[in-house]
Structure 1
Amino acid sequence: MEYSQDMKNRMKRIEGQVRGIVKMMEEEKDCKSIITQMSAIRSAVDRATAYVVAKNLEVCLRDDTETEAEREEMIEEAIQMLVKSR
């Protein structure tokens, strides 16, 4: 699957947030601030995961070479990936 520049930018922002948390820890910032930022990262990763799964599923479902059974299996697999990510 080809990943869009938007998706890569999302991941770079998450990477920057993680570096920011490490800096906050080195500066001994308060726990509440660090946990707030960690929660924001979790949310961003969850959204990115859902985006990747949805785009991949969309591409697979648009492919006319798949049988109905294969499509159903792909949908179930996508659902399981989303459930596992939580």
Structure 2
Amino acid sequence: MEKDDILKRLKKIEGQVRGVHKMVEEDRYCVDILIQLAAIRSATNRVGIALLERHTQGCVRGAIQSGDGDKAIEELMEVVRSFVK
């Protein structure tokens, strides 16, 4: 996913969050809010996966090729661990 695509997705997520904020203010049905929150979580996960892939294919691959792969792999694994919590 390219930078422009990521930024577009983040703008969409931002709009979804504002929509949920409005739903809470308007005392909308809890299930409807929860459904929207699940959609937001899914959207942020997709962006995160795209960034992880981009980082792995670019930064981590470059570090491995230059001989500094161990540090890059450990850093990547720390991010993956926090991502899947």
TM-score, L = length of structure 2: 0.81
Letter in 2 for 1:48: V
Match of 2:58 in 1: 59
TM-score, L = length of structure 1: 0.80
Match of 2:35 in 1: 36
Following TM superposition, where does structure 1 have runs of at least 4 consecutive aligned residues deviating by more than 3 angstroms? 62-65
Unaligned segments of structure 2, at least 5 residues: none
Unaligned segments of structure 1, at least 5 residues: none
Kept in 2, the 8 Å contact 1:25–1:34? The answer is yes
Post-superposition offset of 1:79: 2.6
**Structure 1 pair 77/64, CA: closer, same or farther in 2 (3 Å)?**
closer
